[in-house]
């Protein structure tokens, strides 16, 4: 079993990436993008397509962090239900957000198609209810989305149909979303990188930005080897943005999520587990999420931690997988890895400006495959003088995590323990 590859199975199965140089010396451009995940890559691509001179600085390699190791699931909307957004922000603002959410899924599909990104994109996502009360909530929201937003791609499945689609009996009901889907996370990131370069963006790797400062000429992004001087900076470091911009640290939490990939399943097992081949996430706070890969493995994620990374990820996630799919008990686990999810207290993405010349977007709270890709595009629009759509998200009020620098992590860990307790309650 390989636990040494940072991006686990994604790292082992991805299409090759070209080697890229580290920044050296002083360069000038219109927009400097910091961070080479979906947010930064999408920003760089859209900026370059619009004719801007753009340079992207990535601390490691393209797709090294969340964008190269996530569940690959494409979700509808936001982590907060649309009905909650309406009560919180009002109907008009909630509707504008819904439209952006819908665009984010379409954007992923359009980018994959236009730039011929080989990332095994498939339709279909199931939200599995871990108890009946959760199923009722899923159904209420589906009815609301159909009647108020005309979204008719959700279908409730009872226990028998859920078992037929998922190949497990652990859920009393589920909701099938034909508008959701899944993809190979790292190949999507690498494909965006390739598309950005083809459009004219310059990408540097192994170029961690150590400081940002402003002078009359613009913003300076300084690495160990050089400096980019630009009119504007787009900050796209998600869970890590607080390290570069300490004023953002109270707004972004880090949660470790753990994934395993089994050995390729034989034909009988492959047909038996998850026959629908959709991606699945359950309704618990500390959720299981999983899907099958194009090379016939089960990729299963379960357990989360705000606190530490266990030595034996497979030993932790394997029993969860066997609980959901007893047929997978004893199947070899070939890869185990983890990644840091950037979360916000509101569970809504956090977008804004550090100054007139510096934009940021982070905190997709586990739903960044589509939303980060969109937010990169929205940052490109804002950097090019069209901030209206960026501002729809920037207007969502952000809330700092309580506790300050020292107490934040223990407090958030305590909250996670509390949510685990709630998940276990009957209902």
Binding site for ligand FAD (CB under 6 A): 34-40, 57-60, 64-67, 69-73, 75, 208-209, 236-240, 244, 257, 259, 289, 339-341, 362, 364, 366-369, 372
In this structure, what token pair is assigned to residue 94? 């909630």
Residue nearer to ligand FAD on the CB measure, 148 or 191: 191
In this structure, what token pair is assigned to residue 389? 């759509």
Nearest approach in angstroms of CB 48 to ligand FAD is 17
In this structure, what token pair is assigned to residue 14? 């991805």
**Alpha carbon distance 66, 38 (integer Å):** 9
Nearest approach in angstroms of CB 193 to ligand FAD is 11
**Alpha carbon distance 229, 26 (integer Å):** 7
Taking CA 195 as the corner, what is the angle to CA 189 and CA 198, rounded to the nearest 5 degrees?
Answer: 145
Nearest approach in angstroms of CB 93 to ligand FAD is 22
**Alpha carbon distance 264, 194 (integer Å):** 29
Nearest approach in angstroms of CB 195 to ligand FAD is 15
Distances in Å between the Cα of 389 and the Cα atoms of 97, 281, 293 are 9, 29, 35
Closest C-alpha to 304, from 362, 260, 258, 368: 258
Residue nearer to ligand FAD on the CB measure, 203 or 239: 239
Nearest approach in angstroms of CB 366 to ligand FAD is 5
Neighbours of 267 (CB within 10 A): 8
Distances in Å between the Cα of 54 and the Cα atoms of 46, 51, 208, 259, 333 are 10, 9, 17, 34, 41
The set of residues, in sequence order, having a beta carbon less than 8 Å from that of 266 and lying 6+ positions away, is none
The helix (H) or strand (E) run that includes residue 352 is strand 350-355
Neighbours of 50 (CB within 10 A): 16
Residue nearer to ligand FAD on the CB measure, 209 or 359: 209
Dihedral sign computed on CA atoms, order 365, 411, 339, 383? positive
In this structure, what token pair is assigned to residue 1? 């079993």
Residue nearer to ligand FAD on the CB measure, 210 or 268: 210
Nearest approach in angstroms of CB 363 to ligand FAD is 8
- Integer-rounded Cα radius of gyration of the chain: 21
Task: Please give the residue whose beta carbon sits closest to ligand FAD in the complex.
Answer: 368
Q: How far is CA 388 from the centre of its chain?
A: 23
DSSP tag of 239: G
Residue nearer to ligand FAD on the CB measure, 95 or 206: 206
Nearest approach in angstroms of CB 83 to ligand FAD is 21
Nearest approach in angstroms of CB 253 to ligand FAD is 13
Nearest approach in angstroms of CB 425 to ligand FAD is 25
Residue nearer to ligand FAD on the CB measure, 1 or 327: 1
Half-sphere exposure of 39 (CA within 13 A, CB side): 32
Residue nearer to ligand FAD on the CB measure, 42 or 168: 42
Closest C-alpha to 324, from 67, 79, 126, 66: 126
Nearest approach in angstroms of CB 158 to ligand FAD is 25
Residue nearer to ligand FAD on the CB measure, 106 or 407: 106
Residue nearer to ligand FAD on the CB measure, 142 or 259: 259
């Amino acid at each position: 079993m390989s636990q040494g590859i940072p991006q686990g199975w994604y790292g082992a199965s991805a299409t090759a990436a070209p080697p890229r140089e580290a920044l050296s010396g002083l360069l000038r451009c219109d927009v400097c993008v910091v961070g080479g995940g979906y947010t930064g890559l999408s920003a760089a691509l859209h900026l370059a397509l619009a004719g801007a001179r753009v340079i992207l600085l990535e601390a490691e390699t393209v797709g090294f962090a969340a964008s190269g190791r996530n569940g690959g699931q494409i979700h509808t909307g936001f982590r907060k239900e649309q009905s909650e957004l309406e009560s919180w922000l009002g109907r008009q603002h909630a509707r504008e957000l819904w439209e952006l959410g819908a665009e984010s899924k379409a954007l992923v599909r359009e980018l994959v198609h236009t730039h011929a990104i080989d990332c095994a994109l498939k339709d279909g996502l199931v939200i599995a209810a871990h108890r009946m009360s959760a199923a009722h909530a899923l159904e209420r929201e589906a009815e609301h989305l159909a009647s108020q937003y005309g979204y008719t791609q959700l279908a409730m499945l009872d226990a028998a149909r859920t078992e037929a689609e998922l190949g497990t009996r652990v859920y009393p009901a589920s909701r099938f979303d034909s508008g959701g889907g899944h993809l190979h996370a790292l190949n999507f990131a690498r494909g965006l990188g390739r598309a950005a370069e083809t459009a004219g963006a310059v990408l540097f790797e192994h170029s961690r930005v150590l400081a940002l400062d402003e002078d009359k000429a613009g913003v300076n992004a300084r690495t160990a080897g050089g400096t980019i001087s630009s009119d504007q900076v787009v900050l796209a470091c998600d869970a890590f943005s607080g390290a570069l911009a300490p004023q953002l640290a109270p707004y972004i939490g880090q949660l470790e999520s753990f994934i395993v990939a089994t050995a390729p399943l034989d034909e009988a097992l492959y047909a038996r587990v998850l026959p629908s081949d959709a991606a699945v996430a359950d309704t618990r706070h500390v959720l299981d999420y999983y899907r099958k890969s194009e090379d016939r493995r089960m990729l299963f994620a379960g357990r989360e931690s705000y606190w530490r990374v266990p030595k034996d990820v497979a030993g932790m996630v394997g029993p969860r997988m066997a609980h959901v799919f007893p047929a997978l008990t004893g199947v070899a686990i070939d890869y185990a890895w983890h990644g840091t999810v950037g979360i916000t207290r509101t569970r809504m993405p956090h977008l804004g400006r550090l100054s007139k010349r510096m934009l940021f977007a982070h905190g997709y709270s586990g739903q960044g495959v589509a939303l980060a890709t969109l937010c990169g595009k929205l940052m490109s629009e804002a950097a090019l003088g069209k901030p209206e759509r960026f501002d729809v998200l920037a207007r969502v009020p952000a809330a700092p995590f309580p506790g300050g620098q020292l107490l934040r992590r223990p407090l958030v860990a305590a909250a996670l323990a509390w949510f685990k307790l709630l998940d276990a309650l009957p209902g």
